[in-house]
Amino acid sequence: MSDTLTYPDVVNWAVPLFIAAILAELVWIVIKGRGGRYETRDALTSLLLGAGNVAEGIVLGFVAYGFFMVLWEITPLDLGHSVWVIALCFVLDDLRYYWVHRFGHRIRWVWASHVNHHSSQHYNLTTALRQTWTGTFTFMMAVRAPLILLGFHPAMVLFVGGLNLIYQFWIHTEAIGRLPRWVEAVMNTPSHHRVHHGRNPRYLDCNYAGVFIIWDKMFGTFVPELEREKVDYGLVHNLGTFNPLRVAFHEWIGIWRDATQPGLTWRERLMYCVMPPGWSHDNSRGTSEAIKARYLATHPEEAGTPGLPRPTAHNP
């Protein structure tokens, strides 16, 4: 079984591309006066979080890689490294990304890591680089285990994961409107991903795709960008700081404070870690479902429109 397969660290090699594309988007916005917004401190925070993410990969990358290599030793399967195997690995890893991303919005422990990516009120190419510093601690590396056990080499899995991340960079822009219909039907695009970054009730918890939007359509989480409802970017409760340390760790602090409140049962403490963001033992907060329901209470005519539930017997 081959264990010396190597691929380029594509994310690091893409750094010059990231810088050039940010400059190009900025020039476009300044010259055209449309296509997005930039603000110094917001962009600086995003870039520092991106740099921290690269540093975290250098410092803690061995944890995931070590785990993958143990699995690689265990598995009797080896699919080799032909172009077709790499292509298949890319598609299956994108399915893996969909579920990790969905968990990232529905399990607070994982959301604590992912939230900083959504913490900007802007949506430009620097937002793409606003990445987690704490991904290792979510243990979401486990979702990649089936790929390795199926015989995809760990280096290949990490390589296609890097390509996936690079693909997602360019969709963080308002400078591109809608792409041709077939592209919008199959691929994740700026339009689809703008919706994912929305804090509007209808746009919460949807469009988790990395590269192929088909996963959202298959699993019922697709919401199209509506002309009549502009995306409002950011968090349900926007941050009041640009400090990268606070942005990177605030939800972990929130979990700690919630789970260590006096007077809770052990089950309630656990629920603060694993239930969706907004869950609370006394219902004093609101999950995305509650936010959508409250929105529908004042906008009943919107029930059943994209991203908002239809009335049911339980919720007339």
Partner 1 sequence: MPLSILLPMVVLGIAGIAVLLHVLGLSRRATLSDAAAARAAWLREFPEDAPTQVILCRNHSAALIETAQGRGVVWPMGADTTARYLRGARVRRRKAGLTLDLPDYTAPRIRLTLSPDEAASWCALLESRV
Minimum CB distance to partner 1 smaller for 64 or for 248? 248
Q: Which of 33, 180, 220, 240 binds partner 1 (CB under 8 A)?
A: 240
**Contacts of residue 262, Cβ cutoff 8 Å, sequence gap at least 6:** none
Least Å distance, CB 128 to partner 1, is 13
Minimum CB distance to partner 1 smaller for 241 or for 261? 241
Six-digit token string for 241? 């700081």
Q: What's the rounded Cα separation, in Å, for the pair 111 and 140?
A: 11
- Torsion, Cα of 250, 253, 255, 260 (10° steps): -160
User: Is 230 among the residues that bind partner 1 (CB under 8 A)?
Assistant: no
Q: Which of 238, 260, 261, 315 binds partner 1 (CB under 8 A)?
A: 238
User: Is 22 among the residues that bind partner 1 (CB under 8 A)?
Assistant: yes
Least Å distance, CB 104 to partner 1, is 19
Minimum CB distance to partner 1 smaller for 228 or for 237? 237
Q: Which of 241, 260, 261, 315 binds partner 1 (CB under 8 A)?
A: 241
User: Is 174 among the residues that bind partner 1 (CB under 8 A)?
Assistant: no
Binding residues with partner 1: total (CB under 8 A): 41
Least Å distance, CB 116 to partner 1, is 11
Binding segment (CB under 8 A) for partner 1, from list 99-107, 134-142, 242-250, 268-276: 242-250
Q: What's the rounded Cα separation, in Å, for the pair 309 and 237?
A: 22
Residues lying near partner 1 in the complex (CB under 8 A) are found at 9, 12-13, 15-16, 18-19, 22-23, 26, 30, 37-44, 47-48, 51, 54, 58, 121-122, 126, 232, 234, 237-242, 246, 250, 253-254, 294-295
